[in-house]
Structure formats: C-alpha cells, structure tokens
Amino acid sequence: MTAYIARRILLMFPTLLGILFISFVVVQFAPGGPVERVIAQLSGADTGGSSRISGSSTGDFAGRTPQAGASADAVNSRYRGAQGLDPEFIKNLEKQFGFDKPAHERFALMVWNFARFDFGKSYFRDTTVLQLIKEKLPVSISLGLWLTLLTYLISIPLGIRKAVADGTRFDTWTSAAIIIGFAIPGFLFAILLIILFAGGSFFNWFPLRGLTSDGWSQFPWYWKIIDYFWHLTLPLIAMGLGAFATMTLLTKNSFLDEIRKQYVMTARAKGCSEGQVLYGHIFRNAMLIVIAGFPGAFIGAFFSGSLLIETIFSLDGLGLLGFESVLNRDYPVVFGTLFIFSLVGLVVGLISDLAYMWIDPRIDFEAREV
C-alpha cells in the first residue's frame, strides 16, 4: 500500500507539469491577450469580460496616456489597435505582463513559482491569486460540499430501493420523475425557481444574492446557520436536479447487477434474511462503482458545475472567477486556478482508490501496476 501511494504521488508531478505545458502552449496561440486588453481599454473599444470587473483593469498603467505625435509605423504591429500609441509604452506593457521574455523562460519561471505555490498577482485586480481564491472559496465549498453530500444521502437509498422494487409502480414513477429532472437544464430550472420563490411573479421566500444576509456576523449562532442554508436552498436544488438522476440510476443498476449473481442466491438458500443479503453481501460489491464516480462528481460540483448557478444567483465563487479570468486573459489567475483544480482532482482520485480498499479488502494495490 505504501509503495502504491508513493508511486501515485510521484506521478502527480509529471501529470501537473503536462497539464500546465499543454495549457501554456494553447494560450500562446489564443487570439488576444492582456496587452491587447489594455490597448482596447485605452482606445475605448473593450466590451469584453474585463469591463465587468470592478476597479481599474489597466493595472499600473491606469491613467497613463500615450505620447502625442508618435509614429504609427513605430508601434509594434503585433497588437491590433496599437496605432498611435508610443512604442515605449507598448514595451512597458509587455514588461509589466512578463511578455518581454521568451516563451520557454516564462514557462520555466511559472513552473518554479508554482512549485513553491507562488501564483503571483492578478493582471487586472490589485491582489494576489491566492487571495482571490481564498475570497471565492467559501461559495464553491458550500455548493460543492453540500451538493455532493445531499446527492449521496438521497440517491443511494433511493437507488437501492428502486433496485429491490425493480419493475414495480414505485420504480416506474420514480424513474420517470428523475429522468424528467435530468432532462431539464439546471440553469433553466434555476430561473423557474427564481420566478416561483425568489421575488419573481409569485412568492418572495428566498434571497437572490450571496451566502449570507447583511449583518450576518451579528446574528446568534443558530440564526447564522438558518440564514446560511436559507441562501443555499435554491442554488442547491437547481444544481442537484441532474446529479440526483445520475447517481440514483447508477446505484440502482449496480445493485441490480449484484442481485442477479450466484452468491446472492447461495446466501438466500442458507437462510439469510433480505436485510442480511442486501447489506451484508450485496452492498459492499455494489458500492464500488458508486465510489468510482465520486471524484468526478465532487470535482464537477466543486468547481465547474456551479458556473451558471453562481451567475444566476449572484454567488461569486471559483467557477465565475475562472470564467471571467479566461475572458479577460488574466493568465496568473487562469493558470493558478487550473493548477489548484488539477492538484485537488489528483488527490481526490487517490483518496477514491484508497476508499476501494476500505470497502473491499480483497483489492490489492501493491500488486497493481500504475
């Protein structure tokens, strides 16, 4: 077991390096960039995502004006819209963003800094990448953690019940309900919830912004908990609609596959009760495939799955941060969040494998080739 864990940890380093390298290469060929973004801001032509970011989006160059009379031919022709700007100003922009160095030097410096968990500062926000992530993390933790917990607590018992009652009326109508729920886009259901329960055309029962109400820090502890979940109710319902369907059907099919095996018939022939057969024999084997899907479900809910929900419910989390950073070519934030997301995904994958052994000790990781 120790050797397997060590191998997996060692493999994380080339995996992270490969992810960063591929992403870095893709960025080099992507149109636009932070220099072009500043030029567009100065020329008044920027209508992209950076215009939604509060504060100055031109960093240390806010308020600077190009020198009058500069020759358009002298301006670096690589940047669209740079005609009329002082060439020295363009060079200072490149130095500010680190583009005065060759690509291989910039990549090597990024890898060295990331190895020390130094992700630098945002190009367009006057703060470090780690501080930005720290500010947005509570929203993503709240959505991802509670969604994953609720999904497993509801879907696994429901899936087991459907497997035991396979073909009955209960199985039929619950299958119809979860398939309909799966077919409804989460963002569309979120809008419907707002219309019905958040001050739309009917009721005004739930809030629409943030994780807590104004003055939350002054509330009694029990009211803080109530207020927190009051704000989370609608986002979690909207996000969980599709997740419940996937996990329920996965659990049902896994248990059905085990119920039809020979060892179950043998256990019943020996006089074991249905509860003993189900939870003493079937449960351990059937749950393996459910656990295998945990890393993807957790990472999806924690990071990417909440982007539209964060936007609709005005929740400023990591999903929205990453999306806006890509739009604004805020490369330190893009690569910093990518590195952290990838690292968390690899660690969760390792934990998932270790959970296999805890549920089924017959699995021998020492004999497994990585």
- Taking only the tens place, the pLDDT of each residue in 41-92 is 666 655 454 444 334 444 444 434 444 444 444 444 555 555 556 667 777 7
The pLDDT of residue 74 is: 41
Q: Please count the helices (runs of H) and the strands (runs of E) in the chain.
A: 15, 0
CA max distance for the chain: 96
> Hey, what amino acid is at 188?
L
Query: Quick one: which of 107, 108, 70 has its CA closest to 89?
Result: 70
Number of Cβ within a 10 Å radius of residue 370: 9
**Residue 200 near residue 256, CB atoms below 8 Å:** no
Could you read off the pLDDT of 278-320 as tens digits, one per residue?
887 788 777 777 776 676 666 766 665 567 788 888 888 887 8
- pLDDT (0 to 100) of residue 251: 87
Q: What pLDDT does 300 receive?
A: 65
- Give 101-118 as a 3 state SS string: CCHHHHHHHHHHHHHCCC
What are the sequence ranges of the domains in the chain?
A: 13-125, 130-327
DSSP line for 228-288 = HHHHHHHHHHHHHHHHHHHHHHHHHHHHHHHHTSHHHHHHHHTT--HHHIIIIIIHHHHHH
pLDDT at site 18: 92
- The SS3 assignment for 198 reads strand
Pair 4, 365: CB distance under 8 Å: yes
Owner of token pair 């309909």: 180
For all residues of the chain together, what is the average pLDDT? 78
Residue 14 pLDDT: 92
CATH of domain 130-327: 1.10.3720.10
Q: How far apart are CA 275 and CA 273, in angstroms?
A: 5
Q: What distance lies between CA 208 and its chain's CA centroid? A: 21
Looking at residue 57, what is its pLDDT?
Answer: 40
Contact assessment for residue 352 and residue 365, using Cβ atoms and an 8 Å cutoff: no
* Per-residue confidence (pLDDT) for residue 77, from 0 to 100: 52
Return the pLDDT at 62.
40
Where the chain has pLDDT below 70, the residues are: 41-87, 200, 292-293, 295-298, 300-306, 359-370
> Is-contact 147 234, C-beta < 8 A?
no
Beta bridge partners of 204: 198
